[in-house]
Structure 1
Amino acid sequence: MPDTVKDAAVPDAPLDALPADLVDPPWLRKPAAPKATGGGTVIPGLEPPGDRRIVWAPGEREQWAAIRAYGGPWADGDWEREAEKVRDGSMYLPSQAGFLASAPEHIARPLLAAWEPPKVTWDFDESLKPIIARYEDAAWDVSVRMAKANPFGTGPVLLPFLGADVARLMADWLYRLKSAQELSRAWFARHGLDAVPYLVPDALGKRVGPRRNAVHALRLIEGDVVEAARVYGDEAARAVAALLADAPEQAEPAHERPKPPDLPRWLDTEALPRPVLRDAGLRFPPDAARNLVHLWAMALRPGAFPGAAEAAEETAALCDPASLTAFAWALFEAWRAAGTPGRSAFVLPALGRFGDDETVRRLTPLIKEWPGQAGHDRAVAGLDALAAIGTDLALLHLDGIARSGRYKGLQRQAQAKLREVAARKGLSDGQLADRLVPSFGLDGAGAMTLDYGPRRFTVGFDEQLRPHVTGEDGKVRKTLPKPGAKDDPALAPDAHRRFTELKKDVRAVASLQIARLEAAMVEGRTWTPGEFAAFLVRHPLMWHIARRLVWTSGGTAFRLAEDRTPADVRDDAFDVVDDVRIAHPLLLGDALPAWAELFADYEIVQPFPQLARPAFTLADGEGRDGALARFEGLRVPTGKILGLTRTGWERGPALDGGVQRWISRRAGAHHVVVDLDPGIVAGYVDLNPEQTLEHVWIAPAPCEHCSASPIENGFTAVDPVLLSEILADLTNLG
């Protein structure tokens, strides 16, 4: 953070140096009164066409007619008796509509003409549509009446209606109702220039409200509106042309006017470190800082202020980035101090927009804790913030939550967020994860020089990613010395801080990447030769992990020698030309002992069990019936069952009494399912300390009472490596 942000004596910026929306925000401006349009032209006596038309889209009438009517079925002898219930209103209202859509026309049509149902605020469009399809304009009045009572839920029935009353209604909704925007815009798009004659009399009339609405609607219609208005004569056409040219100066529609946002009571913007202008180094005045928070809040509220996001971005471009980061973090801390209250949806997005890597380091532990504090939604918003920050470190931490999050719901949300990021970049999940591993500024040899001024130190890492420091005298240290009196007072503290952050970040990277590569081995993930070279061999950190593993390409196993070149089990050079994967012991076959001996000779410590990993296969004939009988009947501690979730198993949903009755793991296109007795009580896992593996079977998907129908020979379709891991998990339960 720059010193200017911390220094309360820094002068405030003059108002003319700030964006207009911070100095004179739109939500505080009084809207301009509508002025006379069209040069004040009013043409009295114009009357809209008096016709009413139902304009059906292709197939629309048939679709509406096919909607199943509510109520009934009524027998042939019931019509007259039921009609009386419609007349006196004793029949349930949706059933009345169903009766009118179904009854013989000689009974239903007179009823419809006299039908005056009460105005209801619930959605009534599905009840009216079959009536409109059957009787068309005979259902006009009741449809308009019901639509007025609920524009959003019932109003869609008016889409095919073309008449003066509906045109005026749609123009009013377009100007006034936020909830009816989609409908009214769809209506004008559908009828286009045919709607113009119904609007012109209001547009050139004296009444301010209808005139304003009609002008706004005419501006929306595509095509030659002036020519369509010529049905009222040349004078009217000229007046409409002048009116449209003058219309942009009118007050904006009511639904588009920004509404003053209510900021929470806990927020005192004057207590926050105010943003600083990038070039002038001057602080925002207090009101401007508060208006900036208003902009952030309104940018997240659809329709509150359409220009809020653009105004916020314009402001950000003028500010010192570090000062915005400090402002956003202080806002976040104030929110936390207030107990993270709701209705503060702008706080975490502000961190996402202006946060940096230090924000990531401080925010990620909180995200991981929040679900356990009844804060799942808050944690999901935190994931959005990490994705919005978008740096390599931010996405790396997001990937870490997706792979090893404590709370499965949050873990799934993180996985979904990563899939969104990967899709935007056109990558698979694994390819994205490769690109997320940061280099932390290390050079090609995996080292970094830190400058104390009069002395310099080189930081490197051993094969287990533990840092080591070498001074200019060649002396190797375990850590970087603290800055001394003779060191540069600016360079040395910054270098020491970078080293502290580097150790912390690399430690986090190492655990995440080791887990990721072990999962890749089990899943059979492959890399192209180019990807392998770029993201594993030449990466300053990943190669330390990669060189401690055995890989395969084109049927040949190899390792990475100390000079990063591939070598086979005889230490002969090997050219990687085919896709690469991490070798599971099952893939090494008879060569496994030779590889184990080679790694022992070189004293290579593997990052996770690979060469010493037990390999399992099915016995002859085992599993043909789709079940694994050798595991059935085992009694195991519930804690061991829960431990399976670390290797990809998922607990079933909570059924009656909140009991989870199975645990399953995806196996290719199928699932291996273990039925548990008595089951795990969600939220109270210690209630049943032991579980019996009642059934172990393979199925298309886990479900209750499905173990009687396993997939015969289903295990033969499972990848042998994955099947070995599943068998290992089940074996380790005993």
Structure 2
Amino acid sequence: MSDALPRMLVAPPWERDARAYREATKDAEKEVTLVPGLEPPADRSLVWAEGEREEWLKLCDRPSYLADKEKAILESEGWAGLVQAYKDGTVTYTPNQTYMFKRGPEELVRPLLADWSTSPRGGWGPKGDDLKALLARFGLDVRHIVFPHAKVDRARGAWALLPLLDLETAVLMAHWLSQGSGRRIAVEWLGGHGADAVPFLVPGALGKARVPREKARAALACIASRHGVPAVVDAARRYGDRAAAAVERLLADDGSQAAPEPPAKPVRPPKVTWLNRDELPEVRLRDGRALPPEAIENLIGALTFSSLPWNGDLGTHPELGDVLDRCDRASLSAFGRAIFECWIAERTPSRSGWVLDQLCLLADDDAVRRLGALLLKWPGSGTDKHAVQVLRAIGTDTALTWLHRVSQRASAPGRRQAAENCLAMVARARGLSADELADRLVPDFGLDAAGTLVLDYGPRRFTVGFDERLEPFAIDEAGKHRKTLPKPGAKDDAELAPAAYARFAALKKDVRGVAADQIRRLERAMVTGRRWSADEFERYFVGHPLLLHIARRLVWTTDDTAFRIAEDRTFADVDDAPVRLPGEARIRVPHPLELGDANTAWAELLADYEIVQPFPQLGRHVDALTGAERRTGRLERFEGGTVPVGAVLGLHRRGWERGPVEDGGVYHSIVRRFPGDAPDLVVELAPGVAVTAVDALPEQTFREVRFAEPPGETLDAVTASEVLADLSGLE
């Protein structure tokens, strides 16, 4: 049996000859060129790209958080009063302090910087754009704030380090270069500073400590790949000819590879104690033979090396590919899913992210559905965003469909945003917008042009499909209509019938989910005014076996003609006269405000045909900002109203965001941001929403509802109507 197994499963690399490793280590050490004792420069500077500082300075003027108490001080006593309150210890909440340093007069706030101290732990300090704004305004005077916060909060703050040039930043970038999540910023920093960064890296690259040496050498190689080996060698010459020659040698092979280093100590897979091997299904070779227990253990060990960095390129053990090629795909998929289910049952043990990453290799559509369904209401934070990345890396139509569903329906706003970002990355890679990608992801589930599918029980067959409301039906060979398929009987084929019955059950469930997603997508398209070309409309709606049913229940319009899709897939206007779409037509779902007086006639026509719309279009609530509201920015009509906290949370699914979380883990505002020049709409809440215990404060009062500044005509009528409907629906 062992002769038929891949080498990794019989003699895994982490168990191979240790003596050979020691001998290789001794030989490699002889090749290492060291110049110990070099002292790196202590200089610190800021190096700005063209126009970069000016762009970052604009971030100082971006609206940001200031609590009511501090607002009152600023309005009554001016900046001098707020600065004095800070000196007196009254202004203690970090976002308030950040606001003061970003916006306050420089002559008042710059002298306070040296003593300003905020902890980078816990998420309370300046973040992302705030760090950029502070660095652009105050330069190195605020480095003691920017560097530690950017280092700790890498996802949001790392880009603020780009202009910094000093030893600490260079060492950090060399470290990040070896890590998937930090590699992108490290490459940008090293490539941007080029030869100027070399003096900070050479002492480590030629020093005795192996790990810092490897990282520094990789960083020098990265710079050489962008700027050339001669530029790196010339910059290293400040340490003398011997150091320059050593750098030139380690950058042999045109800078793409460093000189030989001692081989790294073989890494053994971690012990996976939480995984019950007895619960795992067998894995078979392509010839049908099952792997023995010791081979299974080695396969698990190989899977633990799976890792998914930020760029989506899955890292695996180099010998794992041969194993996967020689094993039966279906048994591998069942094995990978069983590991995943065990991991979930054990409450996602720490240091086991490989369980998600191995799904990139082994997951079938059933595992993708399971992962996607979990992501809608993931039990914890942290791992969920990793799982979103896994769906993107799997990349099948099923995986991307679930990724889109997560972006629209996940319970956590951060998870929805992570899914949106992943979809945007996939869309860009395909040369599409996120909406265009979503058009292409709607599955047809194997249905024919008529929207039906034949399922075989052996001695009998059934035609299944969905009606105009996407309710399932089945028709037997005698033409009898059924709401569902009968259970397999004794005379049916023992394999075909159960498989057909199970497929119909899965089909009903999948169609329900897809229908809900597409209805939400079309409603959003109506609000945003998204348009399709005539060809796209024919392909993705009229010609789609499922979306046609939804599209037929809506009114559509070109720039000058409103129409519906008739039963025979032709188009008709409100008088039932035929409509021909020109090839250059741009088609959209009109908002009732855009239909104007024709809205009533369309509503009567659809009622005559007993057509029930999938979401409120013709009967939609419409509203408008008053002239005073557009001039002042205050929506006093909603102020003082009290609503359940669940209603406030529901707004997050309609595009609203929570305000900053303050002391006690409570946020006191929700914000609706708009595209273009329209200002944000802010609703101040009392007593506020507790992040970790939303039921603790069950009633919320709208203390104040206002735009960040008067909107004037910057907010279009449709968007204004929709946001007013959001708030009206809560009362």
Q: Could you say whether these structures have the same fold, taking a TM-score greater than 0.5 normalized by the shorter chain as the test?
A: yes
AA matched with 1:596: A
Judge conservation of contact 1:192–1:222 (CA < 8 Å) in 2: no
- Once the two structures are superposed, what CA deviation does each residue of 1:663-688 show, in whole Å capped at 9, x if it has no partner? 22223333222222333333344444
- 1:109 is matched with which residue? none
**1:589 lines up with 2:596 in the alignment:** yes
> How far does residue 126 in structure 1 lie from its aligned partner after superposition?
4.0
Equivalent position to 1:25, from 5, 12, 16: 12
Partner of 1:492: 497
Equivalent in 600, 607, 612 of residue 614 of structure 2: 607
| Deviation, structure 1 residue 49 | 12
Secondary structure in 1 aligned to 2:578?
A: coil
Structure-2 residue corresponding to 1:336: 344
In structure 1, how many angstroms separate the alpha carbons of the residues matched to 2:223 and 2:550?
Answer: 62
Tell me how far apart the structure 1 counterparts of residues 665 and 274 of structure 2 sit (CA, whole Å): 39
Taking only the aligned residue pairs, the percentage that are identical comes to 45
**Secondary structure of 1:394's aligned partner:** helix
Amino acid at match of 2:370: R
Q: Quote the Cα distance in structure 1 between the aligned partners of 2:637 and 2:519.
A: 32
Q: Does the Cα contact within 8 Å between 2:557 and 2:588 map onto a contact in 1?
A: yes
Amino acid at match of 1:533: E
Which residue, 718, 722, 726 being the options, matches 2:719? Answer: 722
Match of residue 437 from structure 1: 442
Change (3 A) 1:126 1:381: closer
Matches within 5 A, 1:3-402: 14-29=1-16, 30=18, 31-32=20-21, 33-34=23-24, 126=166, 159-160=198-199, 170=206, 177-183=213-219, 185=221, 189=229, 218=249, 220-222=251-253, 253-269=261-277, 272-278=280-286, 280-300=287-307, 308-371=316-379, 375-402=380-407
Structure 2, unmatched stretches of 5+, are 49-112, 115-139, 141-163, 171-194
1:626 aligns to what?
633
Tell me if structure 2 keeps the 8 A contact 1:616–1:728. yes
SS of the residue corresponding to residue 683 of structure 2 reads: strand
1:187 deviation in Å?
Answer: 8.6
Counterpart residue number, 2:184: none
Structure 2 counterpart SS, 1:726: helix
Write the mapping of 1:401-412 to structure 2, written as runs, cut at 5 A: 401-412=406-417
Q: CA deviation at 1:396?
A: 1.8
Q: Summarize the Cα distance change of 1:723–1:255 in structure 2 as closer, same or farther, 3 Å threshold.
A: farther
**Aligned AA (1:23):** V
Aligned partner of residue 512 in structure 1, secondary structure = helix
C-alpha change, 1:447 and 1:35, in structure 2 (3 Å) is closer
Per-residue CA deviations over 1:114-171 (Å, capped at 9, x if unaligned) read xxxxxxxxxx9947999xxxxxxxxxxxxxxxxxxxxxxxxx9993499xxx799628
Q: Is the 1:546–1:560 contact (alpha carbons within 8 Å) kept by the matching residues of 2?
A: yes
* Alignment of 1:649 onto 2:656: yes
Cα offset, 1:720, TM superposition: 1.4
> Which residue is equivalent to 1:468?
473
Cα distance in 2 for partners of 1:503, 1:271 equals 30
Structure-2-length-normalised TM-score = 0.70
- Residue 307 of structure 1 and its aligned partner are, at CA, apart by 8.7
Q: Distance in 1 between matches of 2:223 and 2:209?
A: 11
Deviation at 1:299, TM superposition (A): 3.6
8 Å CA contact 1:633–1:693 kept in 2: the answer is yes
Partners of 1:616 and 1:61 lie apart in 2 by: 55
State the alpha-carbon separation in 1 of the partners of residues 615 and 563 from structure 2.
17
Q: CA deviation at 1:548?
A: 0.2
Write the letter of the residue equivalent to 2:622: A
Greater C-alpha Rg: 1
Q: Would the alpha carbon gap of residues 715 and 520 (structure 1) be closer, same or farther in structure 2, given more than 3 Å must change?
A: farther
Q: Is residue 698 of structure 1 aligned with residue 707 of structure 2?
A: yes
Q: Over the residues paired in the alignment, what is the CA RMSD in angstroms?
A: 4.3
CA shift in 2, pair 1:37/1:193, >3 Å: farther
Provide the rounded CA distance (Å) in 2 between the counterparts of 1:414 and 1:62: 35
Return the alpha-carbon distance in structure 1 between the equivalents of residues 558 and 326 of structure 2.
Answer: 52
* Distance change in 2, residues 1:678/1:17 (3 Å): same
1:462 corresponds to which letter in structure 2? Answer: D
Could you say if the C-alpha distance between residues 217 and 499 of structure 1 is closer, same or farther in structure 2, counting changes exceeding 3 Å?
farther
Q: 1 CA distance for matches of 2:609 and 2:204?
A: 86
Q: Is the 8 A contact 1:399 1:415 kept in 2?
A: yes
Whether the 8 Å contact between 1:174 and 1:180 is mirrored in structure 2 is no
Cα distance in 1 for residues equivalent to 2:611 and 2:169: 75
CA distance in 1, matches of 2:614, 2:725: 19
Deviates more, 1:654-663 or 1:500-509: 654-663
C-alpha offsets along residues 567-609 of structure 1, whole Å, 9 cap, x if unaligned? 1111122222321111111011111111011101100011111
For residues 26 and 586 of structure 1, do their structure 2 counterparts lie closer, same or farther at Cα, with a shift above 3 Å needed?
A: same
Deviations 1:159-200 (A, max 9, x none): 3499xxx7996286679854444246469846778899x999
Q: CA deviation at 1:561?
A: 0.5
Tell me the residue number matched to 2:106.
none
CA distance in 2, matches of 1:191, 1:609: 65
How far residue 308 of structure 1 moved from its aligned partner, in angstroms, is 4.2
Q: Distance in 2 between matches of 1:62 and 1:694?
A: 44
Contact 1:649 1:664 (C-alpha < 8 Å) held by counterparts: yes
Q: Which one-letter code corresponds to 2:579 in the other structure? A: F
Task: For residue 328 of structure 1, give the secondary structure of its aligned residue in structure 2.
Answer: helix
2:452 is equivalent to residue 447 of structure 1: yes
- Mapped to 2, the partners of 1:298 and 1:311 lie a distance apart of 11
Say whether the 8 Å CA contact 2:474–2:481 is kept in structure 1. yes
Instruction: Give, in whole Å, the separation in 2 of the partners of 1:296 and 1:48.
Output: 37
**Residue 683 in structure 1 maps to residue 670 in structure 2:** no
SS in 2 for 1:298: coil
Q: Is the 8 A contact 1:368 1:379 kept in 2?
A: no
Q: What SS class does the counterpart of residue 660 from structure 1 fall into?
A: strand
